Amino acid sequence: MKTFHFIKNRYFYSSMVLLFTLLVIDDTTLFNLYEMKKELNILQIENKKKITEISLIKEKTKQLTSNKSALERFAREHYLMKKKDEVIYIFED
């Protein structure tokens, strides 16, 4: 039986034990590493979205503090403020 001579080799057994440890027993199994990598990718995408959202909010804040007409429009739209002798109609969808 010359075809199965590698089974008698002690390095084969130690390799199998190491492979078993990596696949099943250890905290950082291949399955856990895959799940953590997937979660990391999701978090990175969410982080990029938040960064763009923050930059848009900073730009809007800059416009509101520097442009008086933009501030007036914002106040009228969001807080329903009005001028004297002005009537506001609110349409709900």
pLDDT in tens, 24-34: 777 777 788 89
Whether 33 maps to a domain, the answer reads yes
**How far apart (Å, rounded) are the C-alpha atoms in residues 18 and 81?**
71
Whether 92 maps to a domain, the answer reads no
Whether 49 maps to a domain, the answer reads yes
Number of domains in the chain: 1
Domain that holds residue 34: 5-79
Whether 85 maps to a domain, the answer reads no
Please answer whether residues 83 and 75 qualify as being in contact, where contact means their C-beta atoms are separated by less than 8 angstroms. no
Whether 89 maps to a domain, the answer reads no
Note if the pTM is more than 0.85: no
Whether 86 maps to a domain, the answer reads no
In the predicted model, residues of the chain with pLDDT beneath 50 are none
Q: Give the pLDDT score at 10.
A: 82
**Dihedral sign computed on CA atoms, order 88, 78, 73, 91:** negative
**How far apart (Å, rounded) are the C-alpha atoms in residues 63 and 74?**
11
